[in-house]
Structure 1
Amino acid sequence: MTSPTPSFTTEYLTRYAARLFARALDRRFADGASSGPLPILLALADGKALPQKQLAQLAAVEQPTMARTLGRMQRDELLTHKPDPTDGRSSLAYLTPQGLARAALACEVSQEVDAMSLTSLSAAEQALFKTLLQRVIVNLEGDQSLTSP
């Protein structure tokens, strides 16, 4: 695959970068694990528990996608559910000891890939890049067409 040229759209470039990030993360997981559950592992890495709805929001995915991801993680013994003591209708997702170990590795791998991806940028450029990317995200999150059927 050839590198994209500057004439490609911002959407293409960010999607291409996201795929490269995912590949770089996947290569660093020694046991063949996927970067798919990374947002969940990072959100629960400190041992706290969160409801599925909040995890879906953090990962920016729909509820059915989150349910499938959590199901796979539970199957792989990375995660378990316990009743929410404040809401009897829902449960909280917790990482198991195996999940906490995977989360620690995920944090390490994520930081490594993040640092590697920014090596050619100065500290000021890194800060500017992150600021601009956050602004693009805010613009896209404000796009009302994203919530329309």
Structure 2
Amino acid sequence: MATKQECSRLARQLSALGAVKKAFDRTLPSDSPPASITVLAILKQHGEMRLSRLTELLGVDPSVASRHVAHLAANGWTSRRPDPQDKRSRLLYIEPRGEQVLREASLRCTDALADSLTSWSDHDVRLLTELLARLDESLEGRRTHTASRTTRPPADQTTTR
């Protein structure tokens, strides 16, 4: 079991990842903000979805997700179509141009990493990748557990004082 001392050291190192992310963000074209690339990556990974599902996956307010989607649609990177399960709803999906933008962003980030990690072995990169994935899984379990504890009961089950 990890000690608090080692977790503290890890927390300090993880805070530095913000600077790493900003460096990668600067490699993106000016018309491809990081949030747009994130939305495109989610659509590529999970497939078409309703805006409510995208909002969940992003962990943002629906108005924020709507602004991101509006930017993507204005650039022709995403489109919407009626949901066959519920014609009142719309499904958001990535267009071929959006896939191209996502590929370009991925290549730029990969090139930036390759340039920065020239002294690293493939083994070290693989190990870091595996450990970061494991950390993400552990944190996802905690986020899911915390979300289930903080979910409010339905309106008909609330108590009044």
Residues paired across the two proteins, number: 141
Q: CA distance change for structure 1 residues 85 and 105 in 2, over 3 Å: closer, same or farther?
A: same
Residues 27 and 109, structure 2, Cα contact 8 Å, conserved in 1: no
Q: For residues 83 and 147 of structure 1, what CA distance do their matches in structure 2 show?
A: 31
- CA drift of 1:94 comes to 2.5
Q: Which is richer in helix?
A: 2
Residues 78 and 92, structure 2, Cα contact 8 Å, conserved in 1: yes
Which 5+ residue runs of structure 2 have no aligned equivalent?
Answer: 1-5, 151-161
**Aligned ranges 1:109-148 → 2 under 5 Å:** 109-143=108-142, 144-145=145-146, 147-148=148-149
Residues 44 and 94, structure 1, Cα contact 8 Å, conserved in 2: yes
- CA drift of 1:87 comes to 3.3
Q: For residues 141 and 96 of structure 2, what CA distance do their matches in structure 1 show?
A: 38
Q: Which moved more, 1:100-109 or 1:48-57?
A: 48-57
Counterpart of 1:28 in 2: which secondary structure?
A: coil
Residues 84 and 92, structure 1, Cα contact 8 Å, conserved in 2: yes
RMSD across aligned C-alpha pairs, in angstroms?
3.2
Q: CA distance change for structure 1 residues 29 and 119 in 2, over 3 Å: closer, same or farther?
A: same
Task: Please report the TM-score for the alignment, with normalisation by the length of structure 1.
Answer: 0.68
Q: For residues 115 and 53 of structure 2, what CA distance do their matches in structure 1 show?
A: 30
Which 5+ residue runs of structure 1 have no aligned equivalent?
Answer: 1-5
Q: Report the counterpart of residue 86 of structure 1 in structure 2.
A: 85
Residues 41 and 102, structure 2, Cα contact 8 Å, conserved in 1: yes
- CA drift of 1:53 comes to 4.2
What is the identity, as a one-letter code, of the residue corresponding to 1:22? K
Q: CA distance change for structure 1 residues 100 and 125 in 2, over 3 Å: closer, same or farther?
A: closer
Task: Please report the TM-score for the alignment, with normalisation by the length of structure 2.
Answer: 0.65
Q: CA distance change for structure 1 residues 107 and 63 in 2, over 3 Å: closer, same or farther?
A: same
Q: CA distance change for structure 1 residues 21 and 87 in 2, over 3 Å: closer, same or farther?
A: same
Q: For residues 12 and 69 of structure 2, what CA distance do their matches in structure 1 show?
A: 29
Q: Report the counterpart of residue 60 of structure 2 in structure 1.
A: 62
Task: State the identity as a percent.
Answer: 23
**Aligned ranges 1:1-149 → 2 under 5 Å:** 9-24=9-24, 26-44=25-43, 49-56=48-55, 58=57, 60-62=58-60, 64=62, 65-96=64-95, 98-143=97-142, 144-145=145-146, 147-149=148-150
Q: For residues 139 and 114 of structure 2, what CA distance do their matches in structure 1 show?
A: 25
Q: For residues 11 and 61 of structure 1, what CA distance do their matches in structure 2 show?
A: 21
